[in-house]
A and B are shown apart, each in its own frame.
Chain A
């Protein structure tokens, strides 16, 4: 069965810290991996990764995918209180187009 596992499940840091969130997956016919930030309701799209080793970057956030080892990381540098949210990782497979399989999420709390 296809599976996505995120770690840690929760994390508390102070402003200015750097955090690394992990996402490992077991999916047949992997197609893409997506990262979302969910603060209250709507998960907000962050990145989509399809190729191994290519880093996607947006401001203080970056992400990389390792298709050989079946994981991705999301890095946030110089964290701010506004980064406090649940970060969700999702995977799509060619054999199951249109369906995203989500991990449990990592709850990040950034203290002032």
Chain B
């Protein structure tokens, strides 16, 4: 079974609204990272939250981490059409250096 699973799989909102995406994982982690992928382009790193952190902010992004529930959420406030992209959570755990990704949430922000 996969480590990171994003929820919902797709989300469509209007510009100016907030978008919340969730990620659940199964095993213990060292950190959790969120990435964005615009259509046909590479992965852009958004934010990293470590296992001993509960919340982190970066501009319009807010990430929370609940290790007891093995879940994280990514909140994008005041969304813009340019935020339209696929968003992935990726976890790194144990002595592994590899990232384990979920299938992603496709966010569409309508102007």
Chains A and B come from one and the same complex = no
- B interface, CB within 8 angstroms of A: none
- A interface, CB within 8 angstroms of B: none
